[in-house]
Amino acid sequence: MVIKQMAEKFDVIVIGAGPGGYVCAIRCAQLGLKTACVEKRATLGGTCLNVGCIPSKALLSSSEKFEEAEHHFEDIGIEAKPKLNLGKMMQFKDGVVDANTKGIEFLFKKNKVTRIEGAAEIVEAGKVKVGKDEYEADSIVIATGSDVATLPGIEIDEEKIVSSTGALELKEVPKSMVVIGGGVIGLEMGTVWRRLGTEVTVVEYLDQILPGMDGEVRKESQKLFKKQGIDFKTGMKVTSAKASKKGVDLTMEPAAGGDEEKMSVDIVLMAVGRKPYTDGLGLDKVGVEMTDRGVIETDEFFETSVEGIYAIGDVIKGPMLAHKAEDEGVVLAEMLAGQSGHIDYNLIPGVVYTWPEVANVGKTEEQLKGEGVAYNAGKFPFMANGRARAMGMSDGFVKILADKKTDRILGAHIIGPNAGDLIQEVVNVMEFEGTAEDIARTCHAHPTLTEVVKEAALAVHKRPIHI
């Protein structure tokens, strides 16, 4: 006699334990839903914790200290000659990743989220298969993230032609590197290796780096990164990259057409964007609709074309950012528990963790002009801030854009020290539909970098004090 075992039943099964998935699972469990999270990696945390945001920030922080010691200590009266121990720097990074991924294991246990190891396949609405085991759930959440995109004919081998994953694991400091793509990954990882001694050339298809950011910030950032030693080839496209034992031979040509250029380097970093990752989920069979670029289509409740199957994070539309995925995870969990949730896509900050950092929220000047919105712009440089000067970090500015009639803040753009932290004040004020006047009349501690935000708000009304 064959005894058919009943599949274990959950309220919610989340597929993927990245920032979108694990946060969604925890919030579901907090709200009393019986929740499981399926993850095929041995460790939790997805791309962000394992091979993305967290290890890159460890290397950015360590390489920044190295550069400070090598080039800037002397300016402030410290004599030291640093020596790089790359192996140890990598060990530190791995330790940070390990601690973070274990932290999520702990959070799963604490919140009683069932962890299922393996690759999930959706058999039909309400049914998920992992290996030989089948599980049932009222709701299935797809949070499988994204994978690196590449260019036709260029193969990523993670040795000589690397993605961000390989760029976090290089065994020695390359002499030369070409970064294809002047976006967030290209600039962050290019910065790490430039600081450690690599000659870095960024090849960008468009005329300026950091597409989508405010024009002035794009211009200023390219100027500052160039001053730091990164070489830029903008308006250029790479047409081929061939790896050999010695390195990589590249061919490129002007995006607008023109003569070919050749270059040979040790390492090529491919950073031309990412694409939704849905391999092996069986979405075609189940009938989940996707765009021709592989983005899962969802309604305003994150539900796909199949009832009971939801999707969040990098697999759906919107910026591929960990905090966007997290917020979607929370909102969806609350809706699944019968509550209501809300996310304002205009208020998702973006941060590039170079030095200086670059951060933005809301509309750019170019967008406002395009939409015909009348606005006032207030700009204040870090150079005029005592604290920034005392830190020896006075590059950059804060720019605030406010509606001409109502003074409501429509956008903010920062390039400068700790821009990623400073932007949050403006995000919060915007969340409460606040005005430039609100920031200008709020007491800011002296001496801090936050005073630059206040002065930019004052500048919106043409009354900054310190310039």
Q: Report residue 437 as tokens.
A: 């006047």
By CB under 6 A, is residue 188 in contact with ligand NAI?
yes
SS3 98: helix
- Beta-carbon contacts of 425 under 8 Å, excluding residues fewer than 6 positions away, are 439, 450, 453
- Residues whose CB is less than 8 angstroms from the CB of residue 83 and which lie 6 or more positions away in sequence, other chains included: none
Applying the rule CB under 6 A, the residues between 293 and 322 that interact with ligand NAI are 319-321
Q: Judged by CB under 6 A, does residue 414 bind ligand NAI?
A: no
Catalytic residues, by residue number, are 446
Q: For residue 234, what are its two tokens?
A: 């903008």
DSSP 8-state class, residue 414: E
From candidates 45, 126, 166, 186, binder to ligand NAI by CB under 6 A: 186
Task: Write the CB contacts of 39 (distance below 8 Å, at least 6 apart in sequence).
Answer: 16, 17, 21, 46, 115, 116, 117
Interface with ligand NAI (CB under 6 A), residue from 87, 153, 211, 370: 211
Say whether residue 225 binds ligand NAI (CB under 6 A): no
Binding of ligand NAI at residue 153 (CB under 6 A)? no
Kindly tell me which residue out of 93, 195, 218, 274 binds ligand NAI, with binding defined by CB under 6 A.
274
DSSP 49-110: HHHSHHHHHHHHHHHHHHHIIIIITGGGT--------HHHHHHHHHHHHHHHHHHHHHHHHH
Stretch 330-359 residues interacting with ligand NAI (CB under 6 A): 351-353
CB-closest chain residue to ligand NAI: 183
Q: How far apart are CA 64 and CA 142, in angstroms?
A: 37
Instruction: CB nearer to ligand NAI: give 192 or 203.
Output: 203
C-beta of 331 vs 419, nearer to ligand NAI: 419
Q: Is 241 exposed, middle or buried (0-12, 13-18, 19+ CB in 10 A)?
A: buried
Q: Report d(CA 410, CA 150) in Å as an integer.
A: 35
CA atoms within 13 A on the CB side of 95: 6
Binding string, 362-401, against ligand NAI, x = CB under 6 A?
----------------------------------------
Of 281 and 423, CB closest to ligand NAI: 423
Q: Count residues contacting ligand NAI (CB under 6 A)? A: 26
Considering only 151, 173, 263, 427, the residue that binds ligand NAI (CB under 6 A) is 151
Q: Is 251 in the site for ligand NAI (CB under 6 A)?
A: no
Contact 292, 275 (CB under 8 A): no
Which of these segments, 67-75, 120-128, 179-187, 392-400, binds ligand NAI (CB under 6 A)? 179-187
Residues of this chain, 88-147, that bind ligand NAI according to CB under 6 A? none
Q: Which of 205, 231, 421, 447 is in the footprint of ligand NAI by CB under 6 A?
A: 205
Q: Which residues bind ligand NAI (CB under 6 A)?
A: 151, 180-186, 188, 203-206, 211, 237-238, 271-274, 319-321, 351-353
